[in-house]
Structure 1
Protein backbone atom coordinates (compact mmCIF):
# COMPACT_ATOMS: atom_id res chain seq x y z
CA UNK A 1 0.00 0.00 0.00
CA UNK A 2 1.42 3.36 -0.99
CA UNK A 3 1.89 5.91 1.76
CA UNK A 4 -0.25 8.94 1.15
CA UNK A 5 2.03 11.93 1.53
CA UNK A 6 -0.60 14.52 0.94
CA UNK A 7 -1.21 16.50 4.09
CA UNK A 8 -4.82 17.54 4.70
CA UNK A 9 -5.58 21.08 3.69
CA UNK A 10 -4.98 23.31 6.68
CA UNK A 11 -4.71 26.97 7.37
CA UNK A 12 -1.47 28.88 7.99
CA UNK A 13 0.09 31.86 6.26
CA UNK A 14 3.28 33.26 4.85
CA UNK A 15 2.71 36.94 4.18
CA UNK A 16 6.00 38.49 3.15
CA UNK A 17 6.45 42.19 2.94
CA UNK A 18 9.28 44.51 3.72
CA UNK A 19 11.47 41.62 4.82
CA UNK A 20 9.05 40.61 7.55
CA UNK A 21 7.27 37.27 7.54
CA UNK A 22 4.00 36.75 9.35
CA UNK A 23 1.86 33.62 9.54
CA UNK A 24 -1.64 32.73 10.58
CA UNK A 25 -2.67 29.67 12.53
CA UNK A 26 -6.02 27.92 12.62
CA UNK A 27 -7.74 27.20 15.86
CA UNK A 28 -10.90 25.17 16.12
CA UNK A 29 -14.10 26.74 17.33
CA UNK A 30 -16.81 24.27 18.32
CA UNK A 31 -19.55 26.88 17.80
CA UNK A 32 -18.66 27.61 14.18
CA UNK A 33 -18.35 25.53 11.02
CA UNK A 34 -15.32 27.48 9.81
CA UNK A 35 -12.02 27.50 11.71
CA UNK A 36 -11.02 30.71 13.42
CA UNK A 37 -7.70 32.26 12.42
CA UNK A 38 -5.38 33.61 15.09
CA UNK A 39 -2.09 35.45 14.69
CA UNK A 40 1.07 33.35 14.77
CA UNK A 41 4.68 33.84 13.80
CA UNK A 42 5.95 30.57 12.25
CA UNK A 43 5.45 30.26 8.49
CA UNK A 44 5.51 26.97 6.59
CA UNK A 45 9.16 27.66 5.74
CA UNK A 46 9.95 28.31 9.40
CA UNK A 47 8.25 25.06 10.45
CA UNK A 48 10.15 23.08 7.81
CA UNK A 49 13.48 24.56 8.95
CA UNK A 50 12.74 23.84 12.62
CA UNK A 51 11.72 20.26 11.83
CA UNK A 52 14.92 19.66 9.85
CA UNK A 53 17.08 21.09 12.65
CA UNK A 54 15.38 18.63 15.01
CA UNK A 55 15.29 15.65 12.64
CA UNK A 56 17.82 15.77 9.79
CA UNK A 57 16.64 14.41 6.46
CA UNK A 58 14.41 15.58 3.62
CA UNK A 59 11.15 17.38 4.36
CA UNK A 60 8.40 16.04 2.14
CA UNK A 61 5.33 17.89 3.45
CA UNK A 62 4.11 20.45 5.96
CA UNK A 63 0.65 21.47 7.03
CA UNK A 64 -0.96 23.10 10.00
CA UNK A 65 -3.23 20.70 11.86
CA UNK A 66 -6.19 21.94 13.87
CA UNK A 67 -6.25 21.43 17.62
CA UNK A 68 -7.42 17.92 18.45
CA UNK A 69 -10.39 17.00 20.61
CA UNK A 70 -8.16 15.74 23.43
CA UNK A 71 -6.92 19.20 24.35
CA UNK A 72 -3.95 19.31 21.98
CA UNK A 73 -3.17 22.59 20.30
CA UNK A 74 -2.79 23.43 16.63
CA UNK A 75 0.64 22.57 15.26
CA UNK A 76 2.54 22.33 12.03
CA UNK A 77 2.96 18.66 11.05
CA UNK A 78 6.13 18.15 9.02
CA UNK A 79 6.93 14.79 7.42
CA UNK A 80 10.67 14.13 7.22
CA UNK A 81 12.36 11.23 5.47
CA UNK A 82 15.61 10.52 7.31
CA UNK A 83 18.76 9.31 5.56
CA UNK A 84 18.22 5.78 6.88
CA UNK A 85 14.74 5.60 5.31
CA UNK A 86 12.86 6.23 8.54
CA UNK A 87 9.83 8.52 8.36
CA UNK A 88 9.33 11.10 11.11
CA UNK A 89 6.39 13.35 11.86
CA UNK A 90 7.62 16.49 13.61
CA UNK A 91 5.17 18.84 15.36
CA UNK A 92 6.11 22.53 15.38
CA UNK A 93 4.38 25.27 17.39
CA UNK A 94 2.86 27.78 14.94
CA UNK A 95 3.27 30.65 17.39
CA UNK A 96 6.91 30.14 18.34
CA UNK A 97 8.40 27.88 15.66
CA UNK A 98 9.68 25.56 18.41
CA UNK A 99 9.53 21.79 17.98
CA UNK A 100 6.83 20.32 20.22
CA UNK A 101 7.80 16.70 19.62
CA UNK A 102 8.17 14.04 17.00
CA UNK A 103 7.28 10.45 16.36
CA UNK A 104 8.64 7.79 14.07
CA UNK A 105 6.28 6.46 11.46
CA UNK A 106 6.90 2.79 10.75
CA UNK A 107 5.02 2.81 7.43
CA UNK A 108 7.69 3.12 4.75
CA UNK A 109 6.27 1.33 1.70
CA UNK A 110 6.93 4.26 -0.62
CA UNK A 111 10.35 5.37 0.59
CA UNK A 112 12.07 4.29 -2.62
CA UNK A 113 9.45 6.07 -4.75
CA UNK A 114 9.82 9.30 -2.77
CA UNK A 115 13.62 9.17 -2.99
CA UNK A 116 13.39 8.57 -6.75
CA UNK A 117 10.93 11.46 -7.14
CA UNK A 118 13.24 13.83 -5.26
CA UNK A 119 16.39 12.76 -7.11
CA UNK A 120 17.63 15.56 -9.32
CA UNK A 121 15.21 18.18 -8.03
CA UNK A 122 16.66 21.47 -6.88
CA UNK A 123 13.68 23.05 -5.06
CA UNK A 124 13.05 22.01 -1.45
CA UNK A 125 9.70 21.99 0.34
CA UNK A 126 10.65 25.24 2.13
CA UNK A 127 11.56 26.92 -1.16
CA UNK A 128 8.28 25.74 -2.69
CA UNK A 129 6.39 27.24 0.26
CA UNK A 130 8.22 30.55 -0.11
CA UNK A 131 7.49 30.62 -3.86
CA UNK A 132 3.79 29.89 -3.33
CA UNK A 133 3.53 32.61 -0.68
CA UNK A 134 3.59 35.13 -3.53
CA UNK A 135 0.13 33.79 -4.48
CA UNK A 136 -1.47 34.05 -1.04
CA UNK A 137 -1.39 32.63 2.45
CA UNK A 138 0.31 29.22 2.33
CA UNK A 139 -1.81 26.59 4.07
CA UNK A 140 0.13 23.45 3.12
CA UNK A 141 2.92 22.18 0.91
CA UNK A 142 3.63 18.60 -0.07
CA UNK A 143 5.37 16.42 -2.63
CA UNK A 144 3.11 14.94 -5.30
CA UNK A 145 4.88 11.93 -6.74
CA UNK A 146 1.81 10.28 -8.29
CA UNK A 147 2.24 11.68 -11.81
CA UNK A 148 4.90 11.15 -14.47
CA UNK A 149 7.22 13.47 -12.61
CA UNK A 150 7.22 14.81 -9.07
CA UNK A 151 5.97 18.30 -8.29
CA UNK A 152 5.42 20.31 -5.17
CA UNK A 153 1.80 21.15 -4.42
CA UNK A 154 0.92 24.14 -2.30
CA UNK A 155 -2.40 25.40 -1.08
CA UNK A 156 -2.99 29.07 -0.39
CA UNK A 157 -5.82 31.09 1.05
CA UNK A 158 -6.55 34.59 -0.22
CA UNK A 159 -7.42 37.55 1.99
CA UNK A 160 -11.09 36.83 1.22
CA UNK A 161 -10.73 33.24 2.43
CA UNK A 162 -10.83 31.53 -0.97
CA UNK A 163 -8.55 28.49 -1.21
CA UNK A 164 -6.42 27.80 -4.26
CA UNK A 165 -4.07 24.97 -5.21
CA UNK A 166 -0.75 25.60 -6.93
CA UNK A 167 1.92 23.47 -8.54
CA UNK A 168 5.53 24.43 -7.90
CA UNK A 169 8.09 23.15 -10.39
CA UNK A 170 10.69 21.08 -8.46
CA UNK A 171 13.52 22.30 -10.68
CA UNK A 172 12.74 25.97 -11.30
CA UNK A 173 10.39 26.97 -8.46
CA UNK A 174 7.89 28.41 -10.96
CA UNK A 175 4.38 28.52 -9.51
CA UNK A 176 1.39 27.73 -11.72
CA UNK A 177 -2.28 27.10 -11.01
CA UNK A 178 -3.10 23.46 -10.38
CA UNK A 179 -5.43 22.50 -13.22
CA UNK A 180 -6.85 19.62 -11.17
CA UNK A 181 -8.37 22.15 -8.75
CA UNK A 182 -11.22 23.67 -10.74
CA UNK A 183 -13.53 24.37 -7.79
CA UNK A 184 -13.13 28.14 -7.81
CA UNK A 185 -10.09 28.74 -9.98
CA UNK A 186 -9.99 31.63 -12.36
CA UNK A 187 -7.36 31.65 -15.05
CA UNK A 188 -6.56 35.33 -14.54
CA UNK A 189 -4.29 34.45 -11.58
CA UNK A 190 -1.94 32.25 -13.59
CA UNK A 191 1.68 33.40 -13.91
Structure 2
Protein backbone atom coordinates (compact mmCIF):
# COMPACT_ATOMS: atom_id res chain seq x y z
CA UNK A 1 0.00 0.00 0.00
CA UNK A 2 1.59 3.31 -0.97
CA UNK A 3 2.35 6.05 1.51
CA UNK A 4 -0.07 8.56 -0.06
CA UNK A 5 -3.07 6.31 0.56
CA UNK A 6 -1.97 5.55 4.13
CA UNK A 7 -1.44 9.26 4.77
CA UNK A 8 -4.89 10.08 3.42
CA UNK A 9 -6.48 7.37 5.58
CA UNK A 10 -4.67 8.55 8.69
CA UNK A 11 -5.66 12.17 7.99
CA UNK A 12 -9.31 11.23 7.47
CA UNK A 13 -9.29 9.09 10.60
CA UNK A 14 -7.86 11.96 12.70
CA UNK A 15 -10.66 14.24 11.55
CA UNK A 16 -13.32 11.60 12.14
CA UNK A 17 -12.31 9.97 15.39
CA UNK A 18 -9.29 11.44 17.15
CA UNK A 19 -5.85 10.10 18.02
CA UNK A 20 -6.92 6.79 19.64
CA UNK A 21 -8.63 5.79 16.41
CA UNK A 22 -5.51 6.76 14.44
CA UNK A 23 -3.36 4.38 16.44
CA UNK A 24 -5.81 1.53 15.97
CA UNK A 25 -6.04 2.20 12.22
CA UNK A 26 -2.23 2.32 11.84
CA UNK A 27 -1.92 -0.96 13.76
CA UNK A 28 -4.61 -2.56 11.59
CA UNK A 29 -2.90 -1.45 8.38
CA UNK A 30 0.53 -2.60 9.51
CA UNK A 31 -0.83 -6.04 10.48
CA UNK A 32 -2.70 -6.37 7.20
CA UNK A 33 0.42 -5.57 5.12
CA UNK A 34 2.82 -7.69 7.17
CA UNK A 35 4.12 -10.71 5.20
CA UNK A 36 4.70 -12.75 8.35
CA UNK A 37 1.13 -12.73 9.63
CA UNK A 38 -0.43 -16.16 9.33
CA UNK A 39 2.92 -17.93 9.24
CA UNK A 40 3.09 -20.67 11.88
CA UNK A 41 5.69 -19.98 14.52
CA UNK A 42 6.98 -21.92 17.51
CA UNK A 43 5.97 -20.69 20.93
CA UNK A 44 7.43 -21.77 24.23
CA UNK A 45 4.98 -23.50 26.50
CA UNK A 46 5.53 -22.93 30.23
CA UNK A 47 4.91 -26.64 30.87
CA UNK A 48 6.72 -28.30 27.98
CA UNK A 49 8.50 -28.05 24.67
CA UNK A 50 7.72 -25.51 21.97
CA UNK A 51 4.55 -25.98 19.97
CA UNK A 52 3.62 -24.68 16.54
CA UNK A 53 0.78 -22.24 15.93
CA UNK A 54 -1.41 -25.25 15.08
CA UNK A 55 -0.85 -26.61 18.59
CA UNK A 56 1.11 -29.65 17.39
CA UNK A 57 4.52 -30.49 18.79
CA UNK A 58 7.54 -30.39 16.50
CA UNK A 59 8.06 -33.80 14.90
CA UNK A 60 10.88 -35.15 17.08
CA UNK A 61 9.19 -34.00 20.28
CA UNK A 62 5.91 -35.59 19.14
CA UNK A 63 7.67 -38.90 18.48
CA UNK A 64 9.29 -38.88 21.91
CA UNK A 65 6.05 -37.91 23.64
CA UNK A 66 4.20 -40.76 21.91
CA UNK A 67 6.99 -43.20 22.83
CA UNK A 68 6.87 -42.17 26.49
CA UNK A 69 3.10 -42.73 26.54
CA UNK A 70 3.52 -46.20 25.01
CA UNK A 71 6.21 -47.14 27.52
CA UNK A 72 4.05 -45.91 30.37
CA UNK A 73 1.22 -48.19 29.23
CA UNK A 74 3.41 -51.29 29.72
CA UNK A 75 5.67 -50.70 32.75
CA UNK A 76 9.21 -52.03 32.41
CA UNK A 77 8.95 -52.33 28.63
CA UNK A 78 11.29 -51.19 25.84
CA UNK A 79 10.14 -49.41 22.67
CA UNK A 80 11.08 -51.38 19.53
CA UNK A 81 8.98 -49.65 16.87
CA UNK A 82 7.05 -46.43 16.31
CA UNK A 83 5.42 -45.19 13.14
CA UNK A 84 3.37 -42.10 12.36
CA UNK A 85 -0.11 -42.52 10.90
CA UNK A 86 -2.79 -40.12 9.66
CA UNK A 87 -0.36 -37.37 8.66
CA UNK A 88 1.37 -37.26 12.03
CA UNK A 89 -1.76 -37.13 14.18
CA UNK A 90 -1.49 -40.74 15.36
CA UNK A 91 1.47 -42.95 16.28
CA UNK A 92 1.46 -46.73 16.17
CA UNK A 93 3.91 -48.08 18.73
CA UNK A 94 5.23 -51.50 19.70
CA UNK A 95 6.93 -52.17 23.01
CA UNK A 96 8.46 -55.37 24.38
CA UNK A 97 8.13 -56.51 27.97
CA UNK A 98 10.99 -58.05 29.92
CA UNK A 99 9.90 -61.55 28.87
CA UNK A 100 9.98 -60.59 25.16
CA UNK A 101 6.22 -60.24 24.73
CA UNK A 102 5.29 -57.56 22.21
CA UNK A 103 2.47 -55.10 22.90
CA UNK A 104 0.97 -52.77 20.29
CA UNK A 105 -0.97 -49.54 20.76
CA UNK A 106 -2.01 -46.27 19.13
CA UNK A 107 -1.02 -42.95 20.67
CA UNK A 108 -2.52 -39.53 19.98
CA UNK A 109 -1.48 -36.25 21.64
CA UNK A 110 0.64 -38.12 24.17
CA UNK A 111 -2.16 -40.48 25.24
CA UNK A 112 -2.78 -44.13 24.41
CA UNK A 113 -6.08 -44.21 22.51
CA UNK A 114 -6.13 -47.88 21.48
CA UNK A 115 -4.51 -50.85 23.22
CA UNK A 116 -2.17 -52.02 24.40
CA UNK A 117 -2.89 -55.36 22.78
CA UNK A 118 -0.61 -58.36 23.21
CA UNK A 119 0.79 -59.88 20.05
CA UNK A 120 0.48 -63.65 19.63
CA UNK A 121 4.07 -64.80 19.22
CA UNK A 122 5.98 -67.99 19.79
CA UNK A 123 8.97 -68.48 22.10
CA UNK A 124 11.45 -67.94 19.25
CA UNK A 125 10.03 -64.47 18.48
CA UNK A 126 10.25 -63.51 22.14
CA UNK A 127 13.91 -64.60 22.25
CA UNK A 128 14.64 -62.40 19.18
CA UNK A 129 13.01 -59.42 20.87
CA UNK A 130 14.97 -59.95 24.09
CA UNK A 131 18.24 -60.36 22.18
CA UNK A 132 17.74 -57.13 20.22
CA UNK A 133 16.81 -55.19 23.32
CA UNK A 134 19.86 -56.54 25.16
CA UNK A 135 22.18 -55.65 22.24
CA UNK A 136 20.90 -52.07 21.95
CA UNK A 137 22.96 -49.61 23.99
CA UNK A 138 21.02 -46.70 22.44
CA UNK A 139 17.36 -46.34 23.25
CA UNK A 140 14.79 -44.95 20.81
CA UNK A 141 15.37 -41.32 21.90
CA UNK A 142 19.15 -41.46 21.47
CA UNK A 143 18.72 -43.17 18.11
CA UNK A 144 16.20 -40.54 16.97
CA UNK A 145 18.62 -37.75 17.93
CA UNK A 146 21.40 -39.40 15.87
CA UNK A 147 19.09 -39.82 12.90
CA UNK A 148 17.89 -36.20 12.95
CA UNK A 149 21.52 -35.05 13.20
CA UNK A 150 22.32 -37.14 10.10
CA UNK A 151 19.35 -35.72 8.17
CA UNK A 152 18.94 -32.06 9.16
CA UNK A 153 15.31 -30.86 8.96
CA UNK A 154 14.24 -34.48 8.55
CA UNK A 155 10.97 -35.79 9.98
CA UNK A 156 11.10 -39.38 11.25
CA UNK A 157 8.02 -41.25 10.04
CA UNK A 158 9.09 -44.70 11.21
CA UNK A 159 11.70 -46.04 13.64
CA UNK A 160 12.38 -49.75 14.28
CA UNK A 161 14.86 -51.84 16.23
CA UNK A 162 16.01 -54.54 13.82
CA UNK A 163 18.93 -56.65 12.56
CA UNK A 164 21.03 -55.68 9.56
CA UNK A 165 24.20 -57.44 8.38
CA UNK A 166 24.58 -59.24 11.68
CA UNK A 167 24.18 -56.10 13.81
CA UNK A 168 21.34 -54.70 15.85
CA UNK A 169 20.36 -51.35 14.34
CA UNK A 170 17.76 -48.65 14.63
CA UNK A 171 16.26 -48.24 11.14
CA UNK A 172 14.31 -45.12 10.22
CA UNK A 173 12.35 -43.62 7.37
CA UNK A 174 12.96 -39.87 7.30
CA UNK A 175 11.32 -37.27 5.05
CA UNK A 176 12.78 -33.80 4.41
CA UNK A 177 10.72 -30.71 3.49
CA UNK A 178 11.67 -31.04 -0.21
CA UNK A 179 10.04 -34.49 -0.33
CA UNK A 180 13.22 -36.54 -0.23
CA UNK A 181 12.87 -39.83 1.64
CA UNK A 182 15.92 -41.10 3.54
CA UNK A 183 16.42 -44.60 4.85
CA UNK A 184 18.80 -44.32 7.77
CA UNK A 185 20.33 -47.01 9.97
CA UNK A 186 22.19 -46.41 13.23
CA UNK A 187 24.24 -49.08 14.97
CA UNK A 188 22.32 -49.65 18.19
CA UNK A 189 25.50 -50.53 20.08
CA UNK A 190 27.84 -47.74 18.95
CA UNK A 191 25.55 -44.98 17.67
CA UNK A 192 27.34 -44.90 14.30
CA UNK A 193 25.23 -44.10 11.24
CA UNK A 194 25.73 -47.15 9.02
CA UNK A 195 23.36 -46.26 6.19
CA UNK A 196 21.80 -43.07 4.79
CA UNK A 197 20.14 -43.64 1.41
CA UNK A 198 17.86 -41.05 -0.16
CA UNK A 199 15.37 -40.87 -3.01
CA UNK A 200 12.86 -38.25 -4.16
CA UNK A 201 9.25 -39.28 -3.64
2:82 to 62, 65, 73: 62
1:49 aligns with 2:68: yes
TM-aligned CA distance change 1:182 to 1:133, over 3 Å: closer
2:35 maps to which residue? Answer: none
Whichever of the two has the greater Rg, that structure is 2
More helix as a share of residues? 2
Structure 1: distance between partners of 2:91 and 2:130: 23
Counterpart residue number, 2:23: none
Give the length in aligned residue pairs. Answer: 145
1:155 is displaced (CA, Å) by: 1.4
2:156 matched residue in structure 1: 138
Contact 2:93 2:104 in 1 (8 A): yes
Aligned residue for 1:142, secondary structure, equals strand
Cα 1:22–1:128 shift into 2, 3 Å: farther
C-alpha offsets along residues 61-103 of structure 1, whole Å, 9 cap, x if unaligned? 1001238xxxxx952011111123321102110xx21111211
- What's the counterpart of residue 113 of structure 2? 100
Q: Which moved more, 1:75-84 or 1:143-152?
A: 143-152
Structure-1-length-normalised TM-score = 0.64
Residues 100-136 of structure 1: CA distance to partner in whole angstroms, max 9, x if unpaired?
1211111345221121123242101222122212211
In the aligned structure 1, how far is the partner of 2:179 from the partner of 2:112? 28
Q: 1:115 aligns with which of 130, 133, 137?
A: 130
Alpha-carbon deviation of 1:140?
1.0
Contact residue 123 and residue 170 of structure 1 kept, 8 A: yes
Structure 1 position 40 matched with structure 2 position 60: no
**Change in CA separation of 1:176 and 1:85 when aligned onto 2, cut-off 3 Å:** closer
Question: Which 5+ residue runs of structure 2 have no aligned equivalent?
Answer: 1-41
